[in-house]
């Protein structure tokens, strides 16, 4: 059960207590799905073990018992079938919310995702939209075996027709998932599985709902709401850009750097497609230095796109090239080597040092 706390922003403490609740990300996602099913009779949730068991991470726990087996159900162990069925359901007027049990299991369904889900609206000239919200437990950090920890954001973001988002905390997870489930386009919802048990305040009031803007639908994103990036920590010497589980790590780094008088800003990108280029320009325009951190391999990782967007908007004022601290150009390792692969505090601090000490020749 979630633990209720008082919302200091509310004049009425009783209303505040009801509005803001302490939840883990797992609980926040579960609540969001519960409310989506209650609000939208066309929403259906399915995947391997999503029904009776409630998913391997218990994100769908209790939803089948509450909403029925025709709304929340198990599927065979066939990701191509899960996503192919999603296409048919969307064509029939439903809003499918499929789950791929682990990120690495998405590979067998790439044909359905790229050739059908991402293209059907374009192919049909808008007559067959694909309002599919694909939940993908993503990234590493849980010491799982091979194919149970991957970082596929660059692959998904490269595909026209898909939107990609990754929350870093319970509040964003709750609201971003509810927002994704209102979109007429397919959204890849990448959940950082290592953060499922992180607790934080979640504002569940209608006032915290995400504004639906036409601007976001045409491929742009805006800061100041959950449709864009979020400044997780204000700073003035350098911007750390991250998403998913790496946001928490960058916040740790920023606290350590502050002990040496280095004031780090942390920008939580959240939307990996469309990227909030305006937020990048504002943050790096202020700090004039940037380090991008992600778990995926370096070569052709999403950090390269972020670095280009920063350079494009801030070239005249940058004091150093944009640095990237990432995973290595090897397959995502199993649990015993995970600590060596995922960017750790020391590697991020060294990246910051390289940028701060850079001198033009």
- What is the rounded distance in angstroms from the CA atom of residue 43 to the CA atom of residue 176? 16
Distance of CA 289 to the CA centre of its chain: 24
For 113, the token pair is 């995702």
- What is the rounded distance in angstroms from the CA atom of residue 251 to the CA atom of residue 267? 10
Q: Report which of 28, 25, 67, 24 is spatially closest to residue 46, judged by C-alpha positions.
A: 67
CB 99 within 8 A of CB 60: yes
Q: Is 148 tagged catalytic?
A: yes
Q: Return the bridge partners of 98, or none.
A: 46
CB 47 within 8 A of CB 39: no
Question: Residues 95, 148, 175, 237: which is the catalytic one?
Answer: 148
- What is the rounded distance in angstroms from the CA atom of residue 316 to the CA atom of residue 321? 11
User: Who contacts 253 (Cβ-Cβ below 8 Å, separation ≥6)?
Assistant: 240, 264, 345, 348, 349, 352
Q: Return the bridge partners of 297, or none.
A: 327
Adjacency order of strands within the sheet including 264-268: 230-233, 264-268, 238-242, 290-297, 323-327
Write the DSSP symbol of residue 289: -
Query: From residue 301, how far is each of 157, 230, 326, 327 by CA, in Å?
Result: 10, 21, 8, 9
Query: From residue 250, how far is each of 29, 292, 337, 351 by CA, in Å?
Result: 23, 10, 21, 12
Catalytic residues: 148
């Amino acid at each position: 059960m979630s633990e209720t706390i008082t919302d200091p922003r509310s004049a009425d403490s009783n209303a505040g207590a009801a509005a803001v609740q302490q939840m883990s990300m797992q609980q926040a996602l579960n609540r969001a799905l519960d409310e989506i099913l209650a609000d939208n009779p066309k929403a259906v949730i399915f995947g391997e073990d999503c029904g009776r068991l409630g998913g391997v991470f218990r994100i769908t726990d209790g939803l089948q018992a509450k909403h029925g087996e025709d709304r929340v159900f198990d599927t065979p162990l066939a990701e191509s079938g899960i996503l192919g069925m999603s296409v048919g359901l969307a064509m029939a007027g439903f809003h499918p919310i499929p789950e791929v049990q682990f990120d690495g299991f998405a590979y067998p369904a790439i044909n359905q995702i790229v050739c059908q889900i991402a293209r059907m609206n374009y192919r049909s000239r808008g007559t067959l939209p694909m309002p599919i919200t694909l939940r993908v437990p993503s990234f590493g950090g849980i010491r799982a075996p091979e194919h149970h920890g991957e970082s596929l954001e660059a692959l998904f973001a490269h595909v026209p027709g898909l939107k990609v988002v990754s929350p870093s905390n319970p509040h964003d997870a709750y609201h971003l998932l509810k927002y994704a489930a209102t979109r007429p386009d397919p959204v890849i919802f990448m959940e950082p599985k290592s953060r499922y048990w992180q607790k934080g305040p979640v504002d569940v009031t209608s006032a915290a709902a995400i504004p639906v803007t036409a601007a976001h639908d045409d491929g742009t994103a805006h800061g100041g709401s959950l449709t864009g990036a979020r400044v997780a920590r204000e700073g003035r010497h350098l911007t750390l850009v991250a998403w998913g589980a790496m946001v928490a790590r960058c916040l740790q780094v920023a606290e350590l750097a502050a002990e040496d008088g280095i004031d780090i800003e942390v920008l939580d990108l959240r939307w990996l497609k469309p990227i909030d280029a305006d937020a990048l320009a504002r943050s790096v325009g202020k700090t004039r230095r940037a380090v991008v951190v992600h778990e995926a391999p370096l070569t052709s990782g999403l950090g390269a796109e972020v670095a280009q967007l920063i350079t494009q908007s801030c070239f005249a004022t940058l004091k150093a090239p944009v640095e990237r601290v990432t995973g290595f150009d090897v397959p995502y390792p199993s649990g015993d080597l995970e600590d060596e692969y995922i960017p750790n505090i020391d590697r991020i601090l060294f990246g910051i040092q390289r940028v701060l000490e850079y001198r033009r020749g």
